[in-house]
Amino acid sequence: MTRLNRRRTKKGPSYSLYFILLLLLASAGGYIFITYFEGEKPSITADNLPNFIGKKTDITLTVADTRSGLRSVKILLSQAGNEKELFSRVFPRKQDDGSGGTAKETISVTIDTKALKLKDGEAVISAKVTDYSLRGLMKGNSTELFHKATIDTSPPKLSILHSERYIKPGGAGIVIYKIDDAVKHGVMLNSSYHRGFPLTDGSDSKYIAYIALPYDTKEISEAKIFAIDVAGNKTIKPFSPILNDPKQKKDRINVSDGFLSRKIPEFEEHYQKMTEIEGDMLPKYLYVNRSVRKDNNKQIHDLCMNPNQSRLWEGRFIRMAGSGKAGFADHRTYYYKGKSIDKQVHLGMDIASTKHAAVKAAGTGKVVFSDFLGIYGNMVMLDHGQGIFSLYSHLSQINVSPDETLNKGDVLGNTGLSGMAGGDHLHFSMLVNGIFVDPKEWWDQHWIDVTIERPIADAKF
């Protein structure tokens, strides 16, 4: 019995060794299976594939595989049984130490329908990506994507019904055109975009774009109407307005210590940065006249970027009774103690009447701003539709709020001397698509008739 017991105790360690080896082999097999035979499929992300393909259309896809890495990707376009290869790539394998390989790739491709000899009609964009997993008889995991699209290479039809013949710096006009099958259209004038709006109810595909030139325009380098359809096809029609050259007006503004002592505290209430400016009041004044003025004009421009699509106004815009104190595009030189300190351009008309005179809406419109705005002081802006805006500033009182609709002649406030004003008056401005223009044109019924009403009437028939 003693011998038998000794023999059994000798065999014990052998069984343990076999069990450990078996565990090691199982662990190694599991690691190999999980690592090299992993079943996670690669991904394809293509959120903005087009539903329409034009003459040249860009597409972007992102493929990824964070496990075994990307093996290959192929992008095809199929039409009526014919396949065109748009893109193909084989990626290097990831090394055992984890280096190399490709886990993610963003691919951009241009579909050139002419080069690929594709025809207008239905088509399918497909993509297939595989990884380096050993599953599937060494073929790896794969993911496919299919996206239907319509090839359309015909540009939209565009015809000009009216284009402005004469326009001046700081002047305005209109362009009327007819289009079909366009999602974006309008007028480009010296790199400024002037959006087109339905001339009537939109059923006749006729559109009007109000256009304008900044006061400092020296030449017209670009004047064209364009239309772009859903497939990106574009049609361009140029027109040739003649630039009238108005005389430049000059003005002298004397800045006194009394004016500075009254105005600087007003601006410091609204612009805390001014308290950090060292020195006397003159540097603070120049900060307002330059930096604040620039910021204010940008904010005014931005307020004009989402206009009402319907025309709200009729007839000429009314002018407040009173004497004109400063004109549009006056080139001002500012003097302090006899020395020139600054130069700016006056972008409106100053009208002085009785103190705290009632200020009326020059035309029917919707209030888009009614608050304090820097050099303009208490200010109201009205949206008259289709890119036309009016501005009333230096008010002593504001009687309206944003989103209110005013009829022509409704009182919106009273004149004053808020902002950069030396005396009680109204600063009045007109804007077309964010560009300051000469109010005199919009006060003139003859100009309204010749420039706007008659061309509109002719275009409707």
Tens of pLDDT, residues 335-357: 999 999 999 999 999 999 999 99
pLDDT at 2 over 50: no
**pLDDT for 7 beyond 50:** no
Q: What is the pLDDT of residue 35?
A: 55
pLDDT at residue 21 greater than cutoff 90: no
Which band of pLDDT confidence, cut at 50, 70 and 90, is reported for residue 6? very low
- 316: Cβ–Cβ under 8 A, 6 or more apart, which residues? 442, 443, 444, 445, 448
pLDDT at 438: 97
Q: What is the pLDDT of residues 128-148, one digit of tens each?
A: 999 999 886 668 899 999 999
Neighbouring-strand partners of residue 391: 381, 429
Confidence of residue 4 (pLDDT cuts 50, 70, 90): very low
pTM of the full predicted structure?
A: 0.84
Average pLDDT over residues 37-43: 85
Q: Which long-range contacts (CB under 8 A, 24 or more apart) does 413-418 make?
A: 413/359, 413/378, 413/380, 414/356, 414/357, 414/358, 414/359, 415/352, 415/353, 415/355, 415/356, 415/357, 415/359, 416/356, 416/377, 416/378, 417/377, 418/266, 418/372, 418/377, 418/378, 418/393, 418/394
- The pLDDT of 34-43, averaged and rounded, is 76
Say yes or no to pLDDT of 393 above 60. yes
Instruction: Tell me which DSSP letter residue 135 carries.
Output: T
Query: Is 131 within 8 Å of 65 (Cβ atoms)?
Result: yes
Average pLDDT value for the chain:
92
The secondary structure of 220-259 as a DSSP string is ---EEEEEE-TT--EEEEE--PEEP-PPPPEEEEEEPHHH
Q: What is the pLDDT of residue 255?
A: 96
Calpha distance 369→382 (Å, rounded)? 7
pLDDT in tens, 215-271: 999 999 999 999 999 999 999 999 999 999 878 889 999 999 999 999 999 999 999
SS3 375: helix
410, pLDDT greater than 90: yes
- Determine the pLDDT at residue 29: 53
pLDDT of residue 292: 97
pLDDT on residue 203: 81
Residue in 215, 208, 180, 183 with CA at minimum distance from that of residue 194: 208
Q: Where are the domains of the chain?
A: 43-151, 158-245, 250-438
Domain 158-245 has CATH 1.10.260.40: no
| 175 touches 162 (CB < 8 A) | yes
Average pLDDT of the residues in 49-76 = 95
Helix, strand or coil, per DSSP, at residue 391: strand
Strands of 184-189's sheet in order across: 192-195, 184-189, 223-228, 234-238
Q: How far apart are the first and last CA of the chain?
A: 124
Q: In CATH, which superfamily holds the domain spanning 43-151? A: chitin-binding protein cbp21 (2.70.50.50)
pLDDT grade for 281, boundaries at 50, 70 and 90: very high
Position 450 pLDDT exceeds 60: yes
- For the domain bounded by 250-438, which CATH number is listed? 2.70.70.10
pLDDT at 1: 42
CB 366 within 8 A of CB 383: yes
Q: What is the pLDDT of residues 94-108, one digit of tens each?
A: 877 777 789 999 999
For residues 189 and 219, the answer to whether their CB atoms sit within 8 Å is no
Residues in the chain, how many? 461
pLDDT tens-digit series, residues 165-183: 999 999 999 999 999 988 9
- pLDDT for 5 equals 47
